[in-house]
Structure 1
Amino acid sequence: MQLVIDTFGTSVHRKQNAFEIVNKEGKKRVSPQKIRTIVLNCAAKISSDAVILAVENEIDILFVDKSGKPQARVWSHKFGPLTTIRKNQLKFAESQEGLAWAGQRVWKKMQQQAAFLYQLRYSFSVLSPEKIDACIKTIEAVALQLQELLRSAKGRDKGLAASCRGWEGTASRHYFQGLAWALPPGYHFAGRTKRPAKDPFNCVLNYLYGMLYSFVEVELLKAGIDPHIGVLHADQYKRPVFVYDFIESYRIWADTVAFRLFQRYALNERDFEPCEGGLWLAGSGKREVIPAFHQYLYEPYSLKKKQKTRMQHLSVECRQLAKSLLQRE
Structure 2
Amino acid sequence: MVASIEDVARRAGVSIATVSRALRGLPDVAAGTRDRVLTAATELNYVASPFAARLASGRTATIGLVVPFVNRWFFAEVIDSVEAELRRAGLDLLLYNLGSEEGRKRFFDEMPMRKRVDGVLVASLVLEDAEFEALTALNRPVGLLGIQRDGFLSAGIDDVAAAQSAVTHLTGLGHRRIGLIGGDTDDPMRFTPPLHRRDGYRQSLADADIDFDPALERLGYFTVEGGQAATRYFLDLPERPTALFAESDEMAYGALREIHRSGLQAGVDIAVMGFDDQPYAELMDLSTVRQPVSVQALDVTTRLLALIAGPDDELPREPAVVLPTELVLRASTEGGV
Same fold (TM > 0.5): no
Greater fraction of residues in helix? 1
| TM-score computed with the length of structure 2 as normaliser | 0.24
